[in-house]
């Protein structure tokens, strides 16, 4: 197994790069189909969230595994970006480092808010989409199933997730509360009807919000989420009127570019507000609001990058649980790699057993032909003796392979066994 991960995430790249490389659901499927044609012998999966865009590729051998530079080109060229334009902001990991990274991502140890619950579902969805696009195979199946198992262990064996905290909760508690002391008399407008919108409304409702409006291009989805949180769905065409009336605006809608530009906000909203305080939180990638909207008087606009410091405080508060969680990740990553290395030895072990089974059967047949007087009990005893002898002969090389697999791919030992027992074919 040759594993590569190419991507960007909130710790190494800004939101401007992440939004330029982000993939919507349809784009993800389209990209996987294209890349499958480009790399026909590789398995591929793409994870795209607000905080990361990561392409995982697996080849069965070095000659079938896409090189890192080709994966970078695939990732950037899909959006028409030159690779040099994001140079220094992409992360490249291989083999065990890539495995441990995915395990940490799934367990929410690499999230802006450590322990947030959304990422595990997003990892599951990324794998499922790869399956639907015929881009995933047995290697990615093992990798993602192991990542989910590692995440479950972290959840069950540590208290990292005891108090669930997400990016929206940090935003409401640390930022919105700086602008408004109370929310029960504030008019809230949420753009979008996905998981992030739902999560944000949960915390706003807990903070006392009662006047909730939900706008989404799909009226049915807006109505569904509004009903869930005792709010009102508003037509997308009324967006500018709602912006003028709102006190709190949450951007969590999927869009290819900014929904609210600075020029349109100035022309259609600003004068009607007469500088009333407006808290705007942009949780979308690409961003729903142009950054210059925050230059308007009375507007307090925050994006995901602005939450970094508050999220770091959250990480510090949970630091006591991190060592135990990291140990679980390391144990699971080691176990996964050892199993992958053992699978490399499978054909050699099969060949060894075949090379011993064939002469065993030939000799047993020769012996039974020479001793036709043997009864069934004697024949059975002799066959059991032959089986035990073959197993004892196989035991030392199999033990050596198992021990070598704990340290890394046992290529040298495998090659030696192939040559020694003439298993080249």
Domain with residue 112: its CATH number is 3.30.460.30
Spatial separation of the C-alpha atoms in residues 60 and 126, rounded to whole Å: 21
Query: Does some domain include residue 323?
Result: no
Query: Does some domain include residue 348?
Result: yes
On whether both 132 and 248 belong to a single domain, the answer is: no
On whether both 160 and 171 belong to a single domain, the answer is: no
On whether both 142 and 222 belong to a single domain, the answer is: no
Which of 151, 145, 117 lies closest to 131 in space, CA to CA? 145
Catalytic one of 8, 50, 133, 311: 50
On whether both 27 and 60 belong to a single domain, the answer is: yes
State the residue for tokens 């020479």: 370
Query: Does some domain include residue 241?
Result: yes
State the residue for tokens 């290529």: 411
Spatial separation of the C-alpha atoms in residues 173 and 178, rounded to whole Å: 8
Range of 346's domain? 342-399+407-420
Query: Does some domain include residue 268?
Result: yes
On whether both 186 and 64 belong to a single domain, the answer is: no
Name the token pair of 229. 């949180």
> In the chain, how many domains are there?
3
On whether both 186 and 265 belong to a single domain, the answer is: yes
On whether both 229 and 138 belong to a single domain, the answer is: no
On whether both 155 and 229 belong to a single domain, the answer is: no
User: What pLDDT does 242 receive?
Assistant: 93
Cβ atoms within 10 A of the Cβ of 405, count? 20
Spatial separation of the C-alpha atoms in residues 58 and 65, rounded to whole Å: 6
Tell me the pLDDT of the chain (425 aa) as tens digits.
788 999 888 877 777 788 788 888 889 999 999 999 999 888 999 999 878 899 999 987 777 788 888 898 888 888 888 877 777 788 889 888 999 999 999 998 888 767 677 788 899 999 999 999 999 998 899 999 999 999 999 988 887 776 556 677 777 777 787 788 888 888 999 999 888 888 888 888 888 888 999 999 988 888 998 888 889 999 999 999 999 999 999 998 888 889 999 999 999 999 999 889 999 989 888 889 999 999 998 899 988 887 777 777 766 777 778 889 899 999 999 888 888 777 766 677 777 778 788 888 888 888 989 988 888 899 899 989 988 988 888 888 777 777 666 665 556 666 676 777 677 65
Query: Does some domain include residue 281?
Result: yes
Assess whether 8 carries a catalytic annotation. Answer: no
Query: Does some domain include residue 317?
Result: no
Cβ atoms within 10 A of the Cβ of 246, count? 22
Percent of the chain that is helix, strand, coil (3-state, to 5): 60, 15, 30
On whether both 173 and 129 belong to a single domain, the answer is: no
> What predicted TM-score, i.e. pTM, was given to this entire model?
0.63
On whether both 37 and 185 belong to a single domain, the answer is: no
Query: Does some domain include residue 280?
Result: yes
Query: Does some domain include residue 335?
Result: no
On whether both 238 and 356 belong to a single domain, the answer is: no
């Amino acid at each position: 197994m040759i594993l590569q991960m190419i991507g960007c995430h909130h710790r190494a790249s800004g939101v401007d790069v992440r939004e330029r490389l982000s993939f919507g659901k349809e784009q993800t499927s389209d990209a996987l189909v294209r890349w499958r044609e480009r790399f026909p012998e590789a398995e591929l999966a793409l994870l795209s969230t607000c905080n990361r865009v990561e392409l995982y590729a697996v080849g069965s051998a070095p000659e079938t595994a896409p090189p890192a530079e080709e994966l970078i080109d695939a990732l950037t060229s899909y959006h028409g970006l030159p690779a040099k334009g994001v140079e220094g902001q992409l992360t490249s990991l291989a083999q065990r480092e890539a495995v441990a990274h995915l395990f940490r991502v799934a367990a929410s140890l690499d999230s802006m808010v450590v322990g947030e619950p959304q990422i595990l579902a997003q990892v599951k969805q990324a794998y499922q989409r790869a399956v639907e696009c015929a881009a995933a195979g047995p290697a990615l199946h093992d990798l993602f199933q192991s990542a989910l198992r590692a995440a479950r262990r972290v959840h069950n064996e540590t208290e990292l997730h005891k108090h669930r905290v997400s990016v929206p909760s940090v935003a409401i508690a640390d930022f919105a509360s700086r602008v408004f002391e109370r929310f029960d008399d504030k008019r809230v407008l949420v753009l979008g009807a996905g998981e992030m919108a739902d999560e944000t409304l949960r915390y706003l409702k807990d903070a006392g919000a009662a006047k909730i409006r939900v706008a989404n291009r799909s009226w049915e989805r807006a109505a569904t989420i509004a009903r869930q949180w005792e709010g009102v769905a508003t037509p997308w065409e009324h967006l500018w009127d709602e912006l003028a009336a709102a006190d709190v605006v949450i951007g969590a809608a999927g869009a290819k570019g900014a929904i609210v530009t600075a020029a349109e906000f100035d022309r259609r909203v600003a004068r009607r507000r007469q500088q009333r305080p407006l808290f705007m939180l942009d949780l979308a990638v690409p961003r729903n609001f142009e950054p210059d909207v925050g230059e308007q008087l009375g507007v307090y606009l925050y994006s995901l990058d602005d939450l970094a410091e508050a999220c770091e405080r959250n990480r510090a508060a949970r630091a006591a649980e991190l060592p135990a969680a990291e140990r679980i990740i390391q144990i699971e990553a080691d176990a996964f790699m050892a199993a992958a290395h053992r699978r490399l030895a499978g054909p050699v072990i099969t060949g060894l057993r075949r090379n011993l089974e064939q002469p065993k059967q030939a000799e047993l047949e020769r012996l039974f032909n020479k001793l036709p007087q043997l009864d069934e009990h004697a024949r059975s005893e002799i066959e059991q003796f032959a089986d035990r002898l073959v197993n004892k002969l196989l035991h030392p090389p199999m033990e050596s392979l198992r021990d070598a697999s704990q340290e890394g791919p046992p290529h040298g030992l495998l090659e030696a066994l192939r040559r020694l027992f003439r298993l080249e074919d």
